[in-house]
Amino acid sequence: MDGRALLMHATLHDAAAPDGYLLDAQHAKHDIRGKYEIKSVLGRGSYATARVAVEKGTGRHFACKTICKKGLSEDEQRRVRREVSVMYHLAGHPNVIKLEDAFEDDTYVHLVMELCSGGEMVQRILNKGAYTERGAAAIMRSILEAVAYAHDMGCMHRDIKIDNCMLLDASPDAPVKLVDWGFSSFVQPGKKLHKLCGTIAYLAPEVVAGSYDERADVWSCGVVLYAMLAGRLPFNGSTQEEVLNIIKSDTKGVPDMSGSAWAAVSEAAKSAVRALMTRDPRRRPSAREALRLDWIRECGAAGDNPIDIEPEVLHRMKDFAGMAKLKRHAAMVIAKQLPADQVLGLKLLFESMDRDGGGAVTARGLRDALGRRGCPKVARAELEDLLAHADLHGTARLDFAEFVAAALHHSVLADESYVRLAFDHFDRDRDGRISAAELAAALAEDGEAAGAAEAEGMLAEADEDGDGRVDYKEFKHMMRRGGCTDAAAGAGGPVLALGRAGSEGYYDLY
């Protein structure tokens, strides 16, 4: 085992799935009924059922996707594991459905997530007809922001379609949530994927050809935009094979924007559709570039809010560098206890930045990795300063544990179970308060020497009553500063596609 493999092995929490189980041990053998009351059925599919789940004690409503493990093929098992890993990895974006909990018993896997009471976006189109341009642009901006975020984090969705765009509530300007990450995949810059998957009517030409990257998601976004503006899909046929042949054709596989449905649509909107559905993926904009298209930027802007073009992982690292030192050390404690499925995406990002295999991210490696993902250039001196502030060991380099700690979303740091885990790590005598001596001892155990004065200074960052110690309430306040908790969702329609027919009767390729 080489140095980097040893580092990975030592850092990740040992939570391998027990025999007969799909998920890590953290999720296995837990009874969902201990935390949630399972209510009415929202929808059924070929391999899963969605029900309302009510959290005991809070009354918050969620959607629970229950998957029967019996009879799942190896490919379907991988799809379940991948869905859980990717949703943990992408936690925190307002337009990505949030995985709240995962449970597994001998028979079922239960995925508890946000409940989108507004239902599927396709139903709004069927009920009310095509969107206005302003409404379509606002929705498309939200979808592209979710897709750009996923791409920045090293993930492809691979099944973007109207059916997988859910509305959080029934209001006219309800936020859109991108759901069903079962076909998603972690991707490396410059590497191609080859598996044919997704929903036929939304497939990019290069997916049909068998060699594609993240820009295939952008084509699918273009199909969604076309449908929002025209009230129908761009390519139709009497069979799946006929649709695939149309998509493969350089002449027929071009979106037709003639006819009465397009008469009142602006040229700027049509231009946005053409850009997203550019047949040559090399000339097609990335998701982040698509956010800068005039029609998306001007017509879809939420007020005067600028589009954030800073890569998510860099944004998180900057937040981490600005945290109180005690909070950064607490994040390290949490990072070392996270199960493998929750940090798989960060592991792949780390490896893309650790180009020489030395087991650390340097300013050069970070800058090169951002450049390979098409992100705006950042001065090396700025990145060196960032790493100097984020690094807890004074090396201006981040090892894997430090990188995970720096890249965690604030929702993980604010999670009650992880806050308690970190607090207990520092509260050595379990008296409910952290003293300077206890903090110094815990830091020494973690490999960092800290004198009494330094430990006292770190505690002062969270000590609200000035008694020289930090109790759990004060510690929790510190951990939750700088983030926000999610509002309770209402009740409503199913959150996930459940193996049913997609738009126009074309079934998912599964």
Tell me, what's the pLDDT at 5? Answer: 36
Catalytic one among 24, 159, 319, 508? 159
% residues pLDDT > 70 (the chain): 84
How do residues 169-211 score in pLDDT, each as one tens digit?
Answer: 888 778 899 999 989 999 988 899 999 999 999 999 999 999 9
Statement: residue 490 has pLDDT above 70:
no
121-142 mean pLDDT:
77
Statement: residue 400 has pLDDT above 50:
yes
Residues whose CB is less than 8 angstroms from the CB of residue 391 and which lie 6 or more positions away in sequence, other chains included: 397, 398, 402
Tell me, what's the pLDDT at 115? Answer: 93
Statement: residue 25 has pLDDT above 70:
no
Tell me, what's the pLDDT at 12? Answer: 41
Residue 159 appears among annotated catalytic residues: yes
Mean of the per-residue pLDDT values for the chain?
Answer: 81
Domains of the chain (ranges; CATH) run: 18-113 (3.30.200.20), 119-309 (1.10.510.10), 312-480 (1.10.238.10)
Residues whose CB is less than 8 angstroms from the CB of residue 486 and which lie 6 or more positions away in sequence, other chains included: 98, 114, 411
What is the pLDDT confidence band of residue 135, given thresholds at 50, 70 and 90?
Answer: confident
| CA 233-144-67 angle, 5° bins | 75
How do residues 339-360 score in pLDDT, each as one tens digit?
Answer: 776 777 787 788 778 767 778 8
What is the pLDDT confidence band of residue 491, given thresholds at 50, 70 and 90?
Answer: very low
Residues whose CB is less than 8 angstroms from the CB of residue 492 and which lie 6 or more positions away in sequence, other chains included: 115, 116, 117, 118, 119, 169, 170
- The pair phi, psi for residue 51, each rounded to 5°, is -135, 160
Tell me, what's the pLDDT at 299? Answer: 73
What is the pLDDT confidence band of residue 404, given thresholds at 50, 70 and 90?
Answer: confident
Check residue 291 and report its DSSP letter: T
- Give the pair of three-digit tokens for residue 180: 């069903």
**More confident site: 136 or 284:** 284
Residue set of the binding site for ATP: 69
What is the pLDDT confidence band of residue 508, given thresholds at 50, 70 and 90?
Answer: very low
Residue set of the binding site: 69
**More confident site: 125 or 48:** 48
How do residues 428-482 score in pLDDT, each as one tens digit?
Answer: 999 999 999 999 898 888 777 777 788 889 899 899 999 999 999 999 999 988 6
Prediction pTM value: 0.67
How do residues 27-38 score in pLDDT, each as one tens digit?
Answer: 555 789 999 999
118-127 mean pLDDT:
74
Q: What share of residues in the chain are helix, strand, coil (percent, to 5)?
A: 45, 15, 45
